[in-house]
Structure 1
Amino acid sequence: MWCPDLYMDHLYMNASDKMRRIEPTWNERKEKVRAKLIEVLGSFDPPPDELNAVVLEKQDMGDYSMERVVYQSDAYLQIPAYVLIPHRLEEAAPAVLAWHGHGYGSREIVGLRPDGSVDEEKQGMPQHYAVQLVKKGMVVIAPEIIGFGDRRLSSDMKKDPKKSSSCAPLASRLLMYGKTLTGLRIYEAMRSLDYLRTREEADAERIGTIGFSGGGLIASLSAALDDRIKAAVVCAFTSTFRGSLLSVNHCIDNYLPAILPYADLPELIGLIAPRALFVESGLDDPLFPAESVREAAVVLREIYESTGHKERLEVDLFPGKHEVSGRQSFDWLEKQLKGLKAGFPL
């Protein structure tokens, strides 16, 4: 009888009521939602003038080449990333920013094991979505998200990268400076976009993004705030706050301070509209339950209908758990980005 469940429910309902009393329609609210999102992410120093990019190594992977590169996001931060380039490109190709989820980092989505060796046993799996997309003729960059893999705090580096991240200590320490870990990751996503646009193999006007789980947070919010991204695939992340982040224990990096009186999660993702968006999620995902995905999809459809471009939103609830499917989304992303070349504005 003394548990705080009722209090937490009251906070959510009160925030929802306040949100809709201020400006009841999306068109009235969207600019304030965008401004509030930027505010709660926290402020960061302007990026350095130069990316100072360096290619560390290059491998021939058969159908494509793979480079390990590093570039500057801040005076004190560098981002390592894999860049996958199709062989025999005759012109600049569509390009994709690919964001891994919680796990051992960018190696996981480019088909490598934690030690950097090729994962022969799992070749062709949807979880290697950077590989699946480069084989469709797109340039793909897979940055290492800060807090994972090679970008953990030194105190975490001796731990198993499959089981250990630096999300909690980074998130809690950044709060002391009025910053958020999500904000830092979105800042670095935009810096990664800056770098991708310097690559001669990539068409700077045909860039999309894809992210799984925590990477879906980065893909969705970076696309929401940066219209240089023309199409986004969000895997295993779309939901309502109440249906997932407020009812299931998640990593602290998913939570944004003081956002709920202004917007729920589908409205933050809806800032991507009218640009193209594909949402996929497993019917048996315990972290982002299907019912919360359906509720979010209703809101997203209303947003896209209000822009006059309901056809630019696709939703796929597939048989599966917390995983990437790709059964429709990979082909969809290829179609969206290649369609820009054919003159179909998105």
Structure 2
Amino acid sequence: MWHPDDYLERLYRKLEEQRKTASQGPSAAERERLRGRLQDLLGRFEEEEAPLQPKLLESEEMADGITRQRIEYSTAEGLRVPAYLLLPKEARTGRRPAVLAWHGHGYGSREAVGLLPDGTLNPGPPGIHRNFAVELVRRGLVVLVPEIVGFGDRRIRQEADGEPGSNSCFPIGAALLLAGRTIAGLRAWEARRAADYLLTRDDVDGQRIGCFGFSGGGMVASLSAALDDRMKATVITGYSNTYKTSILDRRHCLDNYIPGILTEAEMPDLLALIAPRELYLEAGTEDYLFPVEQVKAVYQGLAELYQSLGAGDAIGLDVFEGKHEICGRRSFDWIASRLKA
């Protein structure tokens, strides 16, 4: 009787009904309105944009012909981003398609490129990230793996010496919320700046840029692709769902919460902003954070939208036997083929 569950459920349903009543359908004007409102709710960072000023920190030739570089660049005043840049052998001549690779929760960008937290090569199993950045570069893609703010080398100073898998999502997210912004918004903004960096390179084809995100990186990929039309192909693994059945159904990291978002959209509505550009969803049957049955339902709704836009072949889904992890059995080749690697 004293529990607030019924109140919260009624609130969700009320907002859902209000959205349905106000919806103008998938018109171009409505999509642009929602894109603008999403940016407002995430918070705006454009006025703080700083020159990229990229710098090469190290470069190593790997046994299979891949070049792995460590670089850094600026996104805003006071924000420098370390990132791994993986170059296929073929990238040394001509322009190649490129992918922004967004890691999930863990110890950061090193986990995506097959390294241990100390930067040495991981001799063991790849873990839930499946060394996915390496898999992508092996398919002829230039791959940029930025360190997402709050992880790895981008934790706050007070927590920099914590356990390798720890993160600073809460203190960063809380500080931004009190400033009227969000950590999700900062990450989406930095994704845009990462794309800006790729466009400065003479080995990257600016018309063939995509993104691949897992878990929290799936949030980055989905939001940035929704806001940035330069993302021609997007893979989201271990994330696509609804706020109702995932983010509100269990405890998640603070980075998943966007104040006021349900007054404007549910997660599938935001994913729909990617249409009609290429989109691929991947989900494990035993993913305890993002239930697979809802992934299937979200995909079905998106597939209908893509069909209505005459782009039915531009969307795909792979459900694999597994947990909260990257599979890649189809998604790696899918994004390479869609970007014509």
For the superposition of Structure 1 and Structure 2, which TM-score range results when normalised by the shorter chain?
A: over 0.9
**2:323 aligned to which of 307, 317, 321:** 321
3-state SS in 1 of match to 2:218: helix
1:337 equivalent in structure 2 = 339
Letter in 1 for 2:15: A
Tell which deviates more after alignment, 152-161 or 118-127: 118-127
2:21 equivalent in structure 1 = 21
Letter in 2 for 1:318: F
1:95 equivalent in structure 2 = 98
Decide whether the 8 Å contact of 2:103 with 2:129 is kept in 1.
no
Decide whether the 8 Å contact of 1:85 with 1:201 is kept in 2.
no
Aligned-pair identity in percent equals 46
Instruction: Using the TM superposition, give the Cα deviation of residue 295 of structure 1 relative to its aligned residue in structure 2, in angstroms.
Output: 2.1
2:261 equivalent in structure 1 = 259
Tell which deviates more after alignment, 138-147 or 191-200: 191-200
Tell which deviates more after alignment, 207-216 or 46-55: 46-55
1:188 equivalent in structure 2 = 190
Distance (whole Å) between structure 1 residues aligned to residue 115 and residue 226 of structure 2: 30
Tell which deviates more after alignment, 303-312 or 7-16: 303-312
Query: Tell me, which stretches of 5 or more residues in structure 2 are unaligned?
Result: none
Instruction: Using the TM superposition, give the Cα deviation of residue 123 of structure 1 relative to its aligned residue in structure 2, in angstroms.
Output: 5.7
Decide whether the 8 Å contact of 1:83 with 1:141 is kept in 2.
yes
2:115 equivalent in structure 1 = 112
Determine whether 1:7 maps to 2:7.
Answer: yes
**1:160 aligned to which of 155, 158, 163:** 163
TM-score norm. by structure 2 comes to 0.96
3-state SS in 2 of match to 1:103: coil
Distance (whole Å) between structure 1 residues aligned to residue 232 and residue 99 of structure 2: 10
Distance (whole Å) between structure 1 residues aligned to residue 95 and residue 312 of structure 2: 30
Decide whether the 8 Å contact of 1:68 with 1:80 is kept in 2.
yes
Instruction: Using the TM superposition, give the Cα deviation of residue 304 of structure 1 relative to its aligned residue in structure 2, in angstroms.
Output: 1.2
Instruction: Note the alpha carbon deviations across 1:285-310, whole angstroms, 9 max, x for none.
Output: 00000122122112212221221112
Decide whether the 8 Å contact of 1:126 with 1:132 is kept in 2.
no
Over 3 Å counting, the alpha-carbon distance change for 1:216 and 1:147 in structure 2 is: same
Distance (whole Å) between structure 1 residues aligned to residue 220 and residue 49 of structure 2: 21
3-state SS in 2 of match to 1:288: coil
TM-score norm. by structure 1 comes to 0.94
Letter in 1 for 2:2: W
Instruction: Using the TM superposition, give the Cα deviation of residue 261 of structure 1 relative to its aligned residue in structure 2, in angstroms.
Output: 2.0
Determine whether 1:224 maps to 2:226.
Answer: yes
**1:134 aligned to which of 110, 132, 137:** 137
Determine whether 1:149 maps to 2:124.
Answer: no
3-state SS in 2 of match to 1:81: strand
1:343 equivalent in structure 2 = none
Decide whether the 8 Å contact of 1:126 with 1:326 is kept in 2.
no
2:68 equivalent in structure 1 = 66
Instruction: Using the TM superposition, give the Cα deviation of residue 32 of structure 1 relative to its aligned residue in structure 2, in angstroms.
Output: 2.3
3-state SS in 2 of match to 1:137: coil
Instruction: Using the TM superposition, give the Cα deviation of residue 47 of structure 1 relative to its aligned residue in structure 2, in angstroms.
Output: 4.9
Letter in 1 for 2:57: L
1:79 equivalent in structure 2 = 81
User: Cα RMSD over matched residues?
Assistant: 1.5
Instruction: Note the alpha carbon deviations across 1:206-250, whole angstroms, 9 max, x for none.
Output: 111000000000011111111111000001000011110110111
Instruction: Using the TM superposition, give the Cα deviation of residue 86 of structure 1 relative to its aligned residue in structure 2, in angstroms.
Output: 0.8
Distance (whole Å) between structure 2 residues aligned to residue 113 and residue 124 of structure 1: 11
Over 3 Å counting, the alpha-carbon distance change for 1:271 and 1:124 in structure 2 is: same
Over 3 Å counting, the alpha-carbon distance change for 1:49 and 1:241 in structure 2 is: closer
Distance (whole Å) between structure 2 residues aligned to residue 165 and residue 68 of structure 1: 21
**1:299 aligned to which of 298, 301, 314:** 301
Regions of 4+ moved over 6 Å:
none
Distance (whole Å) between structure 2 residues aligned to residue 88 and residue 174 of structure 1: 42
Distance (whole Å) between structure 1 residues aligned to residue 30 and residue 304 of structure 2: 14
3-state SS in 2 of match to 1:199: coil
Distance (whole Å) between structure 1 residues aligned to residue 113 and residue 304 of structure 2: 35
Distance (whole Å) between structure 1 residues aligned to residue 336 and residue 147 of structure 2: 23
Over 3 Å counting, the alpha-carbon distance change for 1:136 and 1:101 in structure 2 is: same
3-state SS in 2 of match to 1:26: coil
Decide whether the 8 Å contact of 1:240 with 1:295 is kept in 2.
no
Decide whether the 8 Å contact of 2:128 with 2:324 is kept in 1.
no
1:178 equivalent in structure 2 = 180
Instruction: Note the alpha carbon deviations across 1:125-169, whole angstroms, 9 max, x for none.
Output: 86211000000111000000000000000111121021x100011
3-state SS in 1 of match to 2:230: coil
Distance (whole Å) between structure 2 residues aligned to residue 217 and residue 124 of structure 1: 20
Distance (whole Å) between structure 2 residues aligned to residue 143 and residue 46 of structure 1: 22
